[in-house]
Structure 1
């Protein structure tokens, strides 16, 4: 296996077209992981909010009231 320095050396020696493909593949692999991390953070936050509602720590706003408040804010 190449060391990071060796990998960088070989990657920077590639023709520009090959560098572009390499960059695209690296970004693609990172984007997939970042999207997964964001999704998992969203699921965790949703679970926390549900637990708060179920425990009575917070109360929900009925949908019709929430819509009225949103409409009011959009008029400002």
Structure 2
């Protein structure tokens, strides 16, 4: 099996168009892994929030209140710039 260094040298010797195609394929392969990582992080965060709601360490708010808070923060951050 070739080492990373050997593979890198071989890939860098390819024509630009071929390297660009290979780079696109590599990025696409990472996107699948990234999607799984993001999905797992969302599940972890949702589980954490569920547990915090159940044990009373956080309190739920209405959708209307959530949107109001987001709007207030957006307006505040725009005023600072």
Same fold (TM over 0.5): yes
Q: TM-score, normalised by structure 2?
A: 0.75
SS in 2 for 1:11: helix
The CA RMSD over aligned residues, in Å, is 2.3
Detail structure 1 runs of 4+ shifted over 2 Å in the superposition.
Answer: 67-74
Structure 2 unmatched runs, 5+:
76-81
1:73 maps to which residue? 72
Show CA shifts across 1:12-48 (max 9, x none).
1111111011100111111221221111111100100
1:56 maps to which residue? 56
1:31 corresponds to 2:20: no
1:13 maps to which residue? 13
Structure 1 unmatched runs, 5+:
none
Q: TM-score, normalised by structure 1?
A: 0.79
